[in-house]
Amino acid sequence: MEQIQCEVKGVFVARSETATVPAVILTDNTGHQLPIFIGLWEAVAINSALNGEVHPRPFTHDLLMDLLEKYAISVNRLQIDSIEEGVYYARLVLLAAGHEDSVDCRPSDGIAVALRAHAPIFVEEKVITEGSELNLPGVIDLATFLQK
Superfamily of the domain at 3-147: Bifunctional nuclease domain (3.10.690.10)
pLDDT tens sequence across 98-108:
999 999 999 99
Which pTM was predicted? 0.90
pLDDT-derived band at 144, boundaries 50, 70, 90:
low
Instruction: Report the sign of the C-alpha dihedral through residues 7, 9, 13, 16, in that order.
Output: negative
pLDDT in tens, 51-93: 998 888 988 999 999 999 999 999 999 999 999 988 999 999 9
- What pairs with residue 23 in β-bridges? 12, 37
Sketch the domain layout of the chain as residue ranges.
3-147
63 sits in which H/E element: helix 60-70
E strands, 16-138, are 20-27, 33-37, 73-84, 87-96, 99-105, 121-124
